[in-house]
Chain A
Amino acid sequence: MSTDTGRIAKRFAALKAEGRAGLVTFITAGDPDLETCRALLDGLPAAGADLIELGLPFSDPMADGPAIQAASLRALHAGTTARKTLDLVRGFRERDADTPIILMGYFNPIHAYGVDRFLADAKGAGVDGLIIVDLPPEEDEELCIPALKAGVNFIRLATPTTDEKRLPTVLQNTSGFVYYVSIAGITGTASADNAAVGAAVDRLKRHTDLPVAVGFGIKTPEQAANIARVADAAVVGSAIVTRIADGLDAAGKARPGLVEDVLGFVRDLAAGVRRARG
């Protein structure tokens, strides 16, 4: 970890120096359309997002709940592709050199793009890390190891089903941070018990020096604050994406004020996270 000089490592080091946890926000690339998504991305850092997860849309997101499934379909209907997702990142990078961007999604769109070409283009566009849900350590040769060679962090999910024996396998090639999935389930559904999350983070910390972010089921500033007391970062996805869906008209077009409403919600989440250890 000490050798990692990427944006993710720098951002977590800065958060540690500030003595607070970070807020990781998730939105899907191209949701509800490329133009609105660009405005959302540009506004996220000022609204208090410390790291940004950007969903790479996929037709069959089998680990996601209804909110993110719908976001993925909206993005695909709006014509979003892997290439356009990278264009969004490239545009963002011209205006923000520091906020880490992590692409989150499934393997097939990257497989179709070509792994080596994708990694080169992603790195060039300013992507810092990848979270690919359907690539467990058993398939590390597919993308994880090539990503590490290309200088892109590969962030692994640890879950309540990852037991003590398996944890070293999961952590082995993980870099950037560890994403603890606080419930056995899909995104945006149940919320975990706070004490259980604290115990799980402690367990992870015994095995790794990497920062631990916690996600799945965090919907309110209060829940984000609770997580921020026990973890290095709180991840909020479905709740933000639901806010986007709420801002659409009957035809699925963004209504005026959508971007400001979503960013206002992010500001509330960030305030929760920032006052957590105050």
Chain B
Amino acid sequence: MTRPNTYRSGPDERGHFGIYGGRFVAETLMPLILEVEKAYKDAKADPAFEGEIRQQLKQYVGRPNPLYYAERLTEMLGGAKIYFKREELNHTGAHKINNCIGQILLARRMGKKRIIAETGAGQHGVATATVCALYNMPCVIYMGETDIARQQPNVFRMKLLGAEVVPVTSGARTLKDAMNEALRDWVTNVADTYYLIGTAAGPHPYPMMVRDFQSVIGDEVRTQMQELEGRLPDSLVACVGGGSNAIGLFHPFLDEPTVQMIAVEAAGHGIEKGPLEHAASITGGRPGVLHGNRTYLLQDEDGQILEGHSISAGLDYPGVGPEHSWLHDIGRVEYVSATDQETLDAFQLCARTEGIIPALESAHALAEIVKRAPKLPKDHLMVLCLSGRGDKDIFSVAQHLGVKL
């Protein structure tokens, strides 16, 4: 495959990253998708929109968050110099809020009166409920019944924030079914409702828009690394479910040939165990069409979507953002995976050496750093996107470790 002049020009006007992306939605939604695209284009050209986002990210979210030198971990692994991008210090405890601020301001510009969203682990649901409270908009969160049962604290948080949490009882009752149900709501309430998608997937323009709102992560890393080390990082490592924190970290660096990028998928019980035992869409899936875009999917021979497995409820989605599919195919980003066990080990290591309890999602990326850093020279600058904090995960981790709380 020939190397493009730039990796940062996508998508094309029809929402394609190479063969991926697109707008695979029902006709009822199509006019609305076009309206969102136009509104976003106008907003991007308006300095006031950018200014309002900047202001809220600073005052409300608490950005910029630090690029932190993880000295003890670096010493312990004995190789690359490891930095953490501290997204877990954002208000609401994860990177999800970056995107929610941008999209709710867009929804307001569009004159929409009601917000809907899907959530898996509940992080995006909490971030959406938060911005809806902030801007006084009614908020309906679709969440699979199975996820509701295993993420009770986040369900209560959303309710405290004034959101209505609707249990989804169709399919396997997890994230993909929540997304189906949110789409059904949107089709029914097209006139007044805005669908605030939480990851860099779905129909165009969502993958592009979510990436743009999350690119603040990579932009800050670039500036901060320049201040700290006077140069670019050598490698960037992030976890991938839908892939919004990863694309936000990577995108500003895609055209820097010296910066290596590694995305870590959830290998669950192991990719070799088959497609029901992991959630690694790129490593263990193949291209198909779901939820508005062409991308790598976990699916059977007949094109039926499979339920993946991961210890992390935030990564067990059977698809991935279309830009990741493209970056994989052209070889710009390396896609690897970490198992549940490797993730649990990294989770505990981070807590004990750095005093930071990471989200299980982020611990997948850390597991790759544990494998890689010892083999690298001490002047290799490696950045982990610490996408979220792990408070939400302590119950499931305790269960896996056989501890009764």
CB nearest neighbor in B for A107 = B289
Contact B26 A136 (CB under 8 A): yes
Contact residues in B for A162 (Cβ distance below 8 Å):
27, 30-31
Residue of A60, A69, A73 near B290 (CB, 8 A) is: A60
Given A109-B302, A110-B303, A134-B26, answer yes or no on A189-B188 (Cβ-Cβ < 8 Å).
yes
Residue of A63, A65, A139, A170 near B23 (CB, 8 A) is: A139
CA distance A61 to B287 in the complex (A): 18
Residue of B30, B189, B291, B305 near A136 (CB, 8 A) is: B30
Contact A138 B30 (CB under 8 A): yes
Is the CB of B348 closer than 8 A to any CB of chain A?
A: no
Chain B 169-207: CB-based contact to A (< 8 A → 1; otherwise 0)? 011000011011001100111110000000000000000
Q: Which residues of A contact B (CB under 8 A)?
A: 57-63, 65-66, 69, 73, 76, 81-83, 106-113, 133-139, 156-163, 166, 170, 181, 184-186, 189
Is the CB of B28 closer than 8 A to any CB of chain A?
A: yes
Contact B27 A138 (CB under 8 A): no
Contact A138 B31 (CB under 8 A): no
Is the CB of B304 closer than 8 A to any CB of chain A?
A: yes
Contact A82 B302 (CB under 8 A): yes
Min CB distance, B62 to chain A, in Å? 36
Contact B26 A82 (CB under 8 A): no
Contact residues in A for B190 (Cβ distance below 8 Å):
161, 184
Contact residues in B for A108 (Cβ distance below 8 Å):
288-290, 297, 299, 303-305
CA distance A134 to B305 in the complex (A): 15
CA distance A178 to B184 in the complex (A): 22
Number of residues of chain B lying within 8 A (CB) of chain A = 39
Interface of B is mostly: mixed
CA distance A134 to B184 in the complex (A): 13
Is the CB of B32 closer than 8 A to any CB of chain A?
A: yes
Besides A112-B303, A136-B26, A139-B24, 13 more A-B contacts (Cβ < 8 Å) are A59-B171, A60-B290, A60-B291, A109-B303, A110-B303, A112-B302, A137-B30, A138-B23, A157-B26, A161-B28, A161-B29, A170-B27, A185-B187
Contact A60 B289 (CB under 8 A): no
Contact residues in A for B177 (Cβ distance below 8 Å):
60
CA distance A162 to B27 in the complex (A): 7
Contact residues in B for A66 (Cβ distance below 8 Å):
170
Contact residues in B for A61 (Cβ distance below 8 Å):
180
Interface of A is mostly: loop
Given A76-B304, A134-B24, answer yes or no on A63-B184 (Cβ-Cβ < 8 Å).
yes
21 contacts between A and B (CB under 8 A): A58-B304, A63-B183, A81-B302, A106-B289, A109-B302, A109-B304, A110-B303, A111-B289, A112-B288, A134-B292, A136-B24, A136-B25, A136-B30, A139-B23, A159-B28, A160-B28, A161-B28, A162-B27, A166-B30, A184-B187, A189-B188
Contact B301 A112 (CB under 8 A): yes
Given A112-B288, A161-B32, A186-B188, answer yes or no on A181-B302 (Cβ-Cβ < 8 Å).
no
Sorted nearest first, the 8 A-B pairs with minimum C-beta distance are A112-B303, A109-B303, A185-B188, A59-B304, A62-B180, A108-B303, A159-B28, A62-B183
Contact B187 A186 (CB under 8 A): yes
Contact B291 A62 (CB under 8 A): yes
Contact A60 B305 (CB under 8 A): yes
Contact A63 B24 (CB under 8 A): no
CB nearest neighbor in B for A61 = B180
Min CB distance, B347 to chain A, in Å? 31
Contact B302 A134 (CB under 8 A): no
Contact A156 B288 (CB under 8 A): no
Contact residues in A for B273 (Cβ distance below 8 Å):
none
CB nearest neighbor in A for B28 = A159
CA distance A82 to B299 in the complex (A): 14
CA distance A15 to B172 in the complex (A): 44
Contact residues in A for B404 (Cβ distance below 8 Å):
none
Contact B187 A69 (CB under 8 A): no
Contact residues in B for A82 (Cβ distance below 8 Å):
302-303
Contact A136 B23 (CB under 8 A): yes
Interface hits, B22-75 → A, CB 8 Å = 22-32
Contact residues in B for A163 (Cβ distance below 8 Å):
31
CA distance A166 to B187 in the complex (A): 17
Min CB distance, A185 to chain B, in Å? 4
Contact A112 B299 (CB under 8 A): yes
Contact A138 B28 (CB under 8 A): no
Contact B27 A59 (CB under 8 A): no
Is the CB of B3 closer than 8 A to any CB of chain A?
A: no
CB nearest neighbor in A for B35 = A161
Given A63-B184, A63-B187, A184-B187, answer yes or no on A159-B305 (Cβ-Cβ < 8 Å).
no
Given A81-B302, A113-B303, answer yes or no on A159-B184 (Cβ-Cβ < 8 Å).
no
Contact residues in A for B26 (Cβ distance below 8 Å):
62-63, 133-134, 136, 157, 159
Min CB distance, A237 to chain B, in Å? 15
CA distance A63 to B22 in the complex (A): 18
CB nearest neighbor in A for B14 = A138
Given A112-B288, A138-B14, A189-B188, answer yes or no on A161-B31 (Cβ-Cβ < 8 Å).
yes
CA distance A214 to B30 in the complex (A): 19
Min CB distance, B14 to chain A, in Å? 7
Contact residues in A for B292 (Cβ distance below 8 Å):
134
Min CB distance, A100 to chain B, in Å? 22
CA distance A142 to B180 in the complex (A): 22
CA distance A83 to B300 in the complex (A): 14
Contact A166 B31 (CB under 8 A): yes
CA distance A162 to B177 in the complex (A): 27
Contact residues in A for B294 (Cβ distance below 8 Å):
111
CB nearest neighbor in B for A134 = B24
Contact A157 B23 (CB under 8 A): no
CA distance A63 to B186 in the complex (A): 10
Contact residues in A for B14 (Cβ distance below 8 Å):
138
CA distance A69 to B28 in the complex (A): 18
Residue of A57, A60, A134, A166 near B171 (CB, 8 A) is: A60
CB nearest neighbor in B for A162 = B27
Min CB distance, A80 to chain B, in Å? 9
Min CB distance, B18 to chain A, in Å? 15
Contact residues in B for A111 (Cβ distance below 8 Å):
287-289, 294, 303
